[in-house]
Structure 1
Amino acid sequence: MITRRQFLVGSLAFGGLATSAFGKQLNVASMPMSEGYGALLPDPQKLLDLPKGFSYNVISSLGDVMSDGMHVPDRADGMGCLPFKGNSNKVALIRNHELHPKHLSAQPESIQQHTSKLAYDNYADGVALPGGTTTMVYNLTTQTVEREFISLTGTVRNCSGGITPWGTWLTCEESVDRPHGPNGDVVNKSHGYIFEVPADADSLIEAKPLKAMGRFNHEAACVDPKTGIVYLTEDRGDSLLYRFVPSEYGNLAAGGQLEALVVKNNPQFDTRNWRSSTMPLATWFDIEWVALDNPESPDDDLRKQGYDKGAALFARGEGMHWGDDELYFCCTNGGKKQLGQVMKLVPSENGKQDKLQLFLESEDKNLYNFGDNLTVCPNGHLLVCEDQYTDIVDNHLRGVTPSGEVYNFAKLHAQTELAGACFSPDGNTLFVNIYSPTKTLAITGPWASA
């Protein structure tokens, strides 16, 4: 099990000198660093550099033939790891494929010809739109994939999502395509929804949109296991943070209320810090939530509706992970230098004293640049996937300690992003995707050593 995290106030928050969790004095004019798991060692395969004692195994690649006869699609993004049918040594890895209709011609031939009545949307010739999920049943003991298949299809740009306490993966469309819109010659239905994929599925499921959870440029989702409330990020420069309060715990299809975050006594608060530092590090802000009407939003105006009601702005909300009574989420280009932020949100038991804090804001692109998906290591550190295509060629997995120090855990040699980082329930294996060409890696090593 992942150990309980008690994240402290980051040492970045204080002026002058601060003391880190490692007993060193830090000049916090720049981002504080940690040794983490140690120096990265060059990978002889020139794929992924890792610290001493860690190794990876490529368990799935673009074009591999799967158990259902289909081939692994490209653009592997968000991913969730869940126990498979109660088996302690098997997990279901449910992997998003961020494919737009325009990407179909670049996919394996089986994807180009795939038709199914279970698909959410199809081209005029009946071929399913290529977005969706694939599922791998992975044996932790033998470290092999036992089954692999398409589990959801016919969607657009399945970017990120999140696992649920009831054993499903929420896969989110980062799209607001609709018939008669810019891509109306391709899509037959409106897009921008969340779909739910059970971890115990054995084959392709029927794609059913959870429309009450909102139609917008979805990114990630995470669930408060106590209440069943689902928190949602939006990948826009003027995005909001949403939550969905379900009518029935564990039954999202039964509907509920979509809401947006408001900073109390600060309507239309700007957390982005682009023009001025309106949100200082480590300062707690009391928050509340406003109800949003018409969540299906045919005009893609939920964020505008929420802002008019006082909702706070965030800079491209992306990866999100639930901890012990708290959650963390990335704002990819937030901060004065637009290199990225990490926010911390602590819900209250009665829902009336929720709090928000800016936990990290990058000042150095060499240390942290465009954080996207994130997860938690067994030792309680955050692990963030970078998603940047700047003058720095290599993307990294960046570690963040409980006191806000950063370190390199892995360096990717290919000019693409790392995505979908998630741990097995026993905390011994990290799974992560290389976006394109698709590769999924299983990484093992001394996770408790840092």
Structure 2
Amino acid sequence: MRTSSSRRHFLKTAITAPAVGTVFSRFLTMASANGITKDHSELRPVQDETTGLPLLRLPEGFRYQSFGWVGDRMSDGVITPEGHDGMAVISQTGDVITICRNHEIRGSQSFGPEAITFDQKAGGGCANLQFNVKTGKWLKSWTSLAGTVQNCAGGPTPWGTWLSCEETVIGPNESFRDVQYQHEKHHGWVFEVPAEGTASLEPLKALGRFVHEALAIDPRDGIIYETEDRDTAGFYRFLPNELEVLTKGGGLQMLKVKGQSDLRTGAKRGVRYEAEWVDIEDPERRNTPGKEDGLGVYSQGKEKGATTFGRLEGCWYGDGLVYFNCTNGGEAGLGQVWSFSPKDQTLQLVFQSPSHEILDSPDNLTVSPRGGLILCEDADLKPLRLHALSRKGTLKTVAINNIQLKKGQHHNLEGDFSGGEWAGACFSPDGKWLFVNIQDPGMTFAITGPWEELGV
């Protein structure tokens, strides 16, 4: 899956915006010293330019259009499945960008053609979307990977592909939460999806078999950082044997924070924790020996003193730092945002939510080209919110799910969907458009407006 130098330049530029590192160095210092304030700016219902429905509440001056609703027919004839989740912009040609979007589905049947199906009895996968950033128009979409299970998040590569992660370790003919599935293959892998065409069906087993959530790649050395969505979770890194050719394998390691066996609680903002790494000898081990716990990789690291986190979720690289969310970490169990410096090998707590009103269960995240973080909320709340940690250290709510559908308005969908989780936030390389999903009922939004006024 080698790509042209122009595409490599595009994505390296897109994920290493010069302002981010400097801005966030100041941000971390300010947040540590002064804490973070919450900005309750007025948000108003705004009509979707596609359907005319007031699906989102946004700040003054913002507009949006939806695309790729569940039930819509894609350009290749495949019906758009449910479960819209993680995604990223992975290439740009002229004014046209390509986005790859995950579909978090277990299912019992592939939604795509046989040629791109890993397991005929599995319902997850990916779709690619194209958007013209100059005209502000959606162009087309197609199936790019099928027959996988619970594709939650993943991450873009500097060479212009998407790494899609399975959030499960389910095997053939097994049950999950009392539901019997007829999967034909073992799952729990990462798959690589190109911007053009369709994915290879070869799972990248060296990246580990665990309940994957997201990953981020440091473009300076190709090291991949991975998160695990379990109550006892590890933060991992993968050192590839050959850059851009992940099928050549490599080494998997788990983070060990000096003097800290468990950072689910007790973490101090402003402290720079020193990091080490321990080797995972068997990255394909599914379970702890003698147990059926799905923690085979985690337990290997734990035996060597690695650090426990709670439900690690979104992960994104921004000019020298790797950010990741811990969705139920912190004293209140409502979420933490961490930053890891590969250069200094240090870990720092950026933010910890004290209450539901401030932030509840951050999931996917992204870094703006201008600096600042977008945090997707996934909690038992209505309505769910999209937040921004600004360059000035202010937490702002930048969008609210306002989806209330009456029968006949769109594909006969009906009900209150304001509790549908936000997912897949990512910016266009020029920073003008934010792309984001709402998982239930399932659609993608392109949002534009004066982002710089919000500090992101």
- CA distance, structure 2, for counterparts of residue 396 and residue 240 of structure 1: 27
Instruction: Report the counterpart of residue 188 of structure 2 in structure 1.
Output: 192
Q: Does 1:162 align with 2:155?
A: yes
**How big is the alpha-carbon RMSD for the aligned residues of Structure 1 and Structure 2?**
1.8
Cα-to-partner distance string for 1:251-281 (whole Å, 9 max, x where unaligned):
11110000000012x26x21110xxx2x211
- CA distance, structure 2, for counterparts of residue 121 and residue 401 of structure 1: 42
Q: Give yes or no for contact 1:12–1:32 (8 Å, CA) kept in 2.
A: no
Instruction: Report the counterpart of residue 4 of structure 1 in structure 2.
Output: 19
What is the number of residues matched between the two proteins? 405
Cα-to-partner distance string for 1:287-341 (whole Å, 9 max, x where unaligned):
0111101111132311111111111111110001101111110000000100100
TM score, norm. by length of structure 1? 0.86
Q: Give yes or no for contact 1:10–1:403 (8 Å, CA) kept in 2.
A: no
Q: Does 1:401 align with 2:396?
A: no
- CA distance, structure 2, for counterparts of residue 198 and residue 158 of structure 1: 16
- CA distance, structure 1, for counterparts of residue 113 and residue 42 of structure 2: 48
Instruction: Report the counterpart of residue 79 of structure 2 in structure 1.
Output: 71
Question: Structure 2: which 5+ runs fail to align?
Answer: 1-13, 48-52, 288-293, 403-417
Instruction: Report the counterpart of residue 453 of structure 2 in structure 1.
Output: 449
Instruction: Report the counterpart of residue 8 of structure 2 in structure 1.
Output: none
Instruction: Report the counterpart of residue 128 of structure 2 in structure 1.
Output: 135
- Indicate the SS of the match to 1:42: strand
- The CA deviation at 1:381 is 1.2
Instruction: Report the counterpart of residue 143 of structure 2 in structure 1.
Output: 150
Q: Does 1:260 align with 2:251?
A: no
- CA distance, structure 1, for counterparts of residue 68 and residue 107 of structure 2: 23
- CA distance, structure 1, for counterparts of residue 303 and residue 273 of structure 2: 20
- The CA deviation at 1:185 is 5.0
Q: Does 1:280 align with 2:268?
A: yes
Cα-to-partner distance string for 1:405-443 (whole Å, 9 max, x where unaligned):
211111112221110000111111111011021111101
- CA distance, structure 2, for counterparts of residue 401 and residue 142 of structure 1: 28
Which of 32, 39, 61 pairs up with 2:37?
32
- CA distance, structure 1, for counterparts of residue 45 and residue 440 of structure 2: 21
Instruction: Report the counterpart of residue 386 of structure 1 in structure 2.
Output: 377
Which of 364, 374, 384 pairs up with 1:373?
364
TM score, norm. by length of structure 2? 0.85
Cα-to-partner distance string for 1:233-264 (whole Å, 9 max, x where unaligned):
00001000000000011111110000000012
Q: Does 1:42 align with 2:45?
A: yes
Pairing 1:212-361 to 2, within 5 Å after superposition: 212-264=206-258, 266=259, 269-273=261-265, 277=266, 279-299=267-287, 300=294, 301-348=296-343, 353-361=344-352
Instruction: Report the counterpart of residue 432 of structure 2 in structure 1.
Output: 428
- The CA deviation at 1:12 is 5.0
- CA distance, structure 2, for counterparts of residue 249 and residue 117 of structure 1: 27
- The CA deviation at 1:359 is 0.9
Instruction: Report the counterpart of residue 25 of structure 1 in structure 2.
Output: none
Instruction: Report the counterpart of residue 176 of structure 1 in structure 2.
Output: 169
Q: Give yes or no for contact 2:330–2:353 (8 Å, CA) kept in 1.
A: yes
- CA distance, structure 2, for counterparts of residue 358 and residue 373 of structure 1: 17
- The CA deviation at 1:11 is 4.5
Question: In the superposition, relative to structure 1, how do residues 422 and 340 fare at CA in structure 2: closer, same or farther (>3 Å)?
Answer: same
Question: Structure 1: which 5+ runs fail to align?
Answer: 19-27, 105-110, 124-128
Q: Give yes or no for contact 1:10–1:360 (8 Å, CA) kept in 2.
A: no
- CA distance, structure 1, for counterparts of residue 433 and residue 353 of structure 2: 28
Instruction: Report the counterpart of residue 401 of structure 2 in structure 1.
Output: 412
